[in-house]
């Protein structure tokens, strides 16, 4: 074990209120596509084009096909060793009367499937829907989410048309509302859930150790969470395949797959 890892493990052994910030890098090791960069296409579309209220308004069939593809992929992959190490670490500290909060930018639910309980999903969940009429939020893990989407969601770039009638897309079942459902995702141009953000802000201000796991620290406001922790002289450890713009702010940086580095750090 190198000196930096030993030092950080010693820090964790005395911490009582730990913040773990996670991003797409940890789920990528389970096989979840990140849709990052010029090659991050679904069919011929950049994910950033589809993840907007404007895209949903213009073509809800196309957006639902994209998210149904992502739901299908996420449902078939499994939590990896990093997810499991985080869940086991949380359980260990909770038994000791301590606290671990996972604040994730991921929408795949893999932390919860690994056994983590205290998870704040900043950007929503692939397995929740929200009604565009009554705003009711429901958990839905049915694949496909509606019959009309079955077999329609392949990422094949030769598939261009998305013409499912809006009446056949997912509809709200609460009190016979019947409104069009949308993925419960915070899209570009939308605000984060204030209640979730408030909880995240509180742990940022009170934690006594912080791990950043598989995130490039470029998406705001999450990008500022760890630097704000570091400003309080609280130990922050970054786990990533490479350095990021924020690396210079942190006391520790462990380069390599999260399944290796995070597992080692959290095995106390």
Q: Is 215 annotated as a binding residue?
A: yes
Q: Is 67 annotated as a binding residue?
A: yes
Contact in structure between 214 and 25 (CB atoms under 8 Å)? yes
Residues whose CB falls within 8 Å of the CB of residue 195, separated by 6 or more in sequence, listed in order: none
Name the DSSP letter for residue 180: B
Q: Is 214 annotated as a binding residue?
A: yes
What are 21's strand-pairing partners? 103, 212
Residues in the chain: 268
Name the DSSP letter for residue 254: E
Number of Cβ within a 10 Å radius of residue 10: 11
Q: Is 153 annotated as a binding residue?
A: no
Q: Is 84 annotated as a binding residue?
A: no
CA 148 to centroid of chain Cα atoms: 27
Q: Is 207 annotated as a binding residue?
A: no
Q: Is 46 annotated as a binding residue?
A: no
Q: Is 134 annotated as a binding residue?
A: yes
Q: Is 20 annotated as a binding residue?
A: no
Catalytic-residue membership of 123? yes
The tokens for 73 are: 């992929």
Q: Is 241 annotated as a binding residue?
A: yes
Q: Is 70 annotated as a binding residue?
A: yes
Reported as half-sphere exposure (CB side, CA atoms, 13 A), residue 40 has a value of: 14
Q: Is 109 annotated as a binding residue?
A: no
Q: Distance between the two ends of the chain, CA-based, in angstroms? A: 13
CA-closest candidate to residue 229, choices 245, 205, 253 = 205
Summary count for the chain: helices (H), strands (E): 10, 11
The tokens for 161 are: 């048309």
- Tokens 């994730």 appear where? 104
Q: Among 83, 111, 123, 184, which one carries the catalytic annotation?
A: 123
Q: Is 194 annotated as a binding residue?
A: no
Binding residues for Zn(2+): 131, 134, 172, 177
Binding residues for NAD(+): 105-108, 214-216, 240-242, 258
Binding residues for substrate: 67, 70
Binding residues: 67, 70, 105-108, 131, 134, 172, 177, 214-216, 240-242, 258
User: What amino acid positions are annotated as catalytic residues?
Assistant: 123
């Amino acid at each position: 074990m190198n000196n930096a890892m030993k030092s950080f493990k010693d820090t964790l052994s005395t911490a009582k209120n730990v913040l773990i910030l996670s991003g797409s890098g940890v789920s990528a090791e389970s096989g979840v596509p990140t849709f990052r960069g010029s090659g991050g296409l679904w069919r011929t579309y950049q994910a950033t084009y589809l993840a907007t209220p404007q895209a949903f308004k213009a073509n809800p069939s196309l957006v639902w096909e994209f998210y149904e593809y992502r739901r299908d992929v996420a449902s078939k992959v499994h939590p990896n060793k990093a997810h499991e190490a985080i869940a086991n670490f949380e359980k260990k500290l909770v038994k000791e009367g301590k606290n671990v909060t996972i604040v994730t930018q991921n929408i795949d639910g893999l932390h919860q499937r690994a056994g983590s309980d205290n998870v704040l999903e900043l950007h929503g969940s692939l397995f929740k829907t929200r009604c565009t009429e009554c705003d009711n939020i429901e958990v839905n893990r049915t694949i496909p989410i509606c019959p009309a989407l079955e077999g329609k969601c392949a990422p094949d770039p030769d598939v261009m048309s998305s013409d499912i009638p809006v009446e056949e897309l997912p509809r709200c079942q609460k009190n016979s509302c019947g409104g069009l459902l949308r993925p419960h995702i915070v899209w570009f141009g939308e605000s984060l859930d204030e209640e979730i953000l408030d909880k995240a802000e509180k742990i940022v201000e009170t934690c006594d150790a912080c791990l950043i796991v598989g995130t490039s620290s470029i998406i705001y406001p999450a990008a500022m969470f760890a630097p704000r922790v570091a400003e309080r002289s609280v130990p922050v450890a970054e786990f990533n395949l490479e350095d990021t713009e924020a690396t210079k702010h942190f006391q520790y940086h462990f380069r390599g797959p999260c399944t290796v580095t995070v597992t080692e750090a959290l095995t106390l």
